[in-house]
Amino acid sequence: MRSDDQSGFLARTIPAGDGLKLHVRDYAGDEASTRSRPPVFCLPGLTRNSRDFHQLALLLSQDSLAPHRVITLDARGRGLSERDPDKSHYNLVIEAQDVLTVCAALDIQQAIFVGTSRGGLVLHMLAASRPDVLKAVILNDIGPVLEKIGLADIRDYLNRDRKPVNWSEAIEILRENHGRAFTALAEEDWHDMARAIYTVVDGKPAADYDPAIAVQMQALDLEAPIPDLWTQFQGFQDIPLMVIRGENSKLLAQSTTDEMARRHPGTVVKIADGQGHAPILHFGDIPDAIRDFISRL
């Protein structure tokens, strides 16, 4: 992540339907250059935030040939969006409605949506309820079937909840949790990841989300069946679809990716070499693959 990760966008605050304040980054670019193209709307993972997409948003909004306006959202309870006093509101249905509220506030009729992990589950909800807003969809290491081994991995590192006292420790924790899956990352990439995930509280790096979100995941009963979302996935049928899968992902199986492509002919599948859950989208040749996909729309 660039050291100036607080520039290149307009920060917006948009009230959700229940009044909770949502934080949005608007990488508007040059309006004259972007107005003829659909915007790109990025939704982060369970405990992540809009900073995950900063470098990708700069690449797409400042592209010399085909720039796109890019919107990145801090879902409720994450990043700079307000924490919800009603913790039951941290659910896919309400988070999908928040996306529609932001679209309405920004007068976005359709967008190319990028959903990382939980953000992709939100897109499954929109595919079932409001497919008309989906110009195209990029699912980042997520699909209709979640592997229990991947869910257990997420639950376990949230349960460890080790709190760093400085940035060196923050990077060390990330390497402990993700190093075996993200073999392609160099030293600066781990610094980027830390700056995207952690904020600063009392001079120390701190997780940038409502702890209640982690509590939900920590309480997950993996002995019970995990419902699939194949019914909702069917809503993508007439929508251009790209699936990015981390080569070392434990959450999205290759067999699920293959079945997604079988059920949705024309799906573009991109494997993120040397990455796990969920791939960094500005890394390696992934931006070129994304540009190629959206250029065909």
Q: What is the mean pLDDT of residues 179-208?
A: 95
Statement: residue 161 has pLDDT above 80: no
Q: What is the mean pLDDT of residues 227-240?
A: 97
SS3 at position 13: strand
Q: What is the DSSP string of 136-193?
A: EEEEES--S---HHHHHHHHHHHHH-PPPSSHHHHHHHHHHHHTTT-TT--HHHHHHH
Q: What is the mean pLDDT of residues 160-187?
A: 94
**pLDDT of res. 251:** 98
Percentage of residues of the chain with pLDDT beyond 70: 99
User: Domain 10-147+227-295, CATH 3.40.50.1820 — does that match?
Assistant: yes
Statement: residue 191 has pLDDT above 60: yes
Give the chain's count of helices (H) and strands (E). 11, 10
For residue 78, what is the DSSP state? B
Annotated domain spans of the chain: 10-147+227-295
Q: Which two tokens stand for residue 107?
A: 């007068």
Separation CA 8–CA 2 (nearest Å): 11
**pLDDT of res. 29:** 82
Write down the mean pLDDT value for the chain.
Answer: 95
Q: What is the mean pLDDT of residues 47-62?
A: 96
**pLDDT of res. 4:** 64
pTM of the model: 0.96
**pLDDT of res. 216:** 87
